[in-house]
Amino acid sequence: MKKAGEEKTGLFKKVESLDVSRILRELTRNEAFYFFTSIGNYTGKCATSLEDYVRKIKEVDIKSIEFHLYREDFEKWVTETLEDKELAQEIKNLQKQNLTEESLRQKLHAIVSKRYEQLQRIF
């Protein structure tokens, strides 16, 4: 979908309302993000929206965050399912920072919650 303007607001560019409603929508079970700590080890938690994803980042085992971040699962889900390439790029940039444990969780949560709040204001 077409993005409106090139003006940055914090980390992210402005987006059209149509993009925002797509990014913020409630997802089906097939579209949800399922958290694992390793292949075959499901944590029992899944995110069914960007809002839910923000909450789950704070709750899920840190091993799950590390597992998914370095496999690029988060950015793939955000790009392909939520269709938010800017957020996906910001998540990808975390890999270069060599963060571990709680600093990784805090940084990921800060990026995703900032994006969520920005989209909520637009919506």
Average pLDDT over residues 30-51: 98
Residue 100, pLDDT score? 83
- State pTM to two decimals: 0.84
C-alpha distance from residue 69 to each of 1, 4, 91 (Å) = 26, 29, 8
Contact 64/78 with Cβ under 8 angstroms? no
Write down the domain spans for the chain. 8-122
Q: Which of 10, 9, 13 is nearest to 84 (CA)?
A: 13
3-state secondary structure 41-66: EEEEEEECCHHHHHHHHHHCCHHHHH
Token reading at 32: 């949800």
pLDDT at residue 83 tops 90 = yes
